[in-house]
Amino acid sequence: MAVIEVKNFKKSFGSKVIHEDVSFYVKKGECLGLVGGSGTGKSVLLRSLIGLEKPDSGSIEINGIEVSKYKESQWVLLRKKVAYAFQGGALFDSMTVAQNLAYPLREHSHLTSHEMKLRIESQLNDFGLAGTELLYPSEISGGMQKRVGLARAMMLEPEVILYDEPTAGLDPYNTKRIQELILNLKRKGVTAILVTHDMPTAFAVCDKFAFLKDKVIKEQGTPDQLKGKPDSLIQQFIEGNVL
């Protein structure tokens, strides 16, 4: 069964149509690469999956349950299972790394402060961030900030994670570390959507692709079906052709 299924999704802002008719699904443990030019509505689509935007019409099913008409209180519960790693990290600048990681636990769990401390320590280790707990986001590198953002998104051990440009602006070493983190989570059975312009990362971690263009998904397929195929839109996108 699909963990995420979007059918006939439509979204406009005022008179500007962003999505005309978008449908796709992601099965348990799969990673879908959602690709497309800047401004094609990738972030809006991800935001809609956690209730931060409302579709004009169409359905969004998570684990077979229609969620698009959820009330805010229902979205709050769903966001424990469906995490969003924001484009740009969205860390709290006035909080230390440890306080950033503690935030979702304070909001959504009933752990004691000792249990929280242990959970944060283990998460920092898993994400290669040991020793940074008392630092503020401005005191760590961009690559570390990205990892803190992912670590925070994963604090509640969600079933689904939506990555919005997790490697943008990172050097090759940090990009590789993020790829490894995504692959590790995938091995644990986490279902994912990866929005990225970083095609080597997309090909390293995604099982299939959906290419957004002209307000619809113009092309879908597996890496084997698309990579290196001259008539594939994704291949042309990689080569920087005008689409």
Ligand X SMILES: Nc1ncnc2c1ncn2[C@@H]1O[C@H](COP(=O)(O)OP(=O)(O)OP(=O)(O)O)[C@@H](O)[C@H]1O
Binding interface with ligand X (CB under 6 A): 13, 18, 36, 38-44, 87
Residue whose token pair is 């094609």: 40
**What value does the CA radius of gyration of the chain take, rounded to a whole number of Å?**
18
CA separation, residue 21 to residues 8, 59, 80, 82, 109 (Å): 5, 11, 28, 23, 37
CA separation, residue 13 to residues 19, 24, 30, 71, 129 (Å): 10, 22, 31, 21, 39
Query: Cβ 22 to Mg ion, closest distance in Å?
Result: 15
18 binds, among Mg ion, ligand X, none (CB under 5 to 8 A by kind): ligand X
240 binds, among ligand X, Mg ion, none (CB under 5 to 8 A by kind): none
H/E element holding 23? Answer: strand 16-27
Query: Cβ 14 to ligand X, closest distance in Å?
Result: 7
92 binds, among Mg ion, ligand X, none (CB under 5 to 8 A by kind): none
Task: Give the CB-nearest residue to Mg ion.
Answer: 43
Q: Does 167 bind Mg ion (CB under 5 A)?
A: no
Compute the distance between CA of residue 132 and CA of residue 199 in angstroms, rounded to an integer.
30
- Candidate ranges 29-37, 43-51, 182-190, 209-217; the one touching Mg ion (CB under 5 A): 43-51
Q: DSSP letter at 67?
A: -
158 binds, among Mg ion, ligand X, none (CB under 5 to 8 A by kind): none
Query: Cβ 17 to ligand X, closest distance in Å?
Result: 10
Q: DSSP letter at 191?
A: E
Q: Nearer Cβ to ligand X, position 41 or 149?
A: 41
Compute the distance between CA of residue 39 and CA of residue 22 in angstroms, rounded to an integer.
15
Q: Nearer Cβ to ligand X, position 38 or 73?
A: 38
Residues 6+ apart with CB under 8 A from 179: 167, 201, 204, 205
Q: Does 48 bind Mg ion (CB under 5 A)?
A: no
Query: Cβ 170 to ligand X, closest distance in Å?
Result: 16
39 binds, among ligand X, Mg ion, none (CB under 5 to 8 A by kind): ligand X
**Residue 79 near residue 35, CB atoms below 8 Å:** no
Query: Cβ 192 to Mg ion, closest distance in Å?
Result: 16
Q: Nearer Cβ to ligand X, position 26 or 35?
A: 35
Residues 6+ apart with CB under 8 A from 85: 149, 150, 153, 161, 162, 163, 164, 166
13 binds, among Mg ion, ligand X, none (CB under 5 to 8 A by kind): ligand X
Please pick, from the candidates 22, 32, 40, 43, the single residue that binds Mg ion as defined by CB under 5 A.
43
**Residue 83 near residue 156, CB atoms below 8 Å:** yes
Q: Which residues bind Mg ion (CB under 5 A)?
A: 43
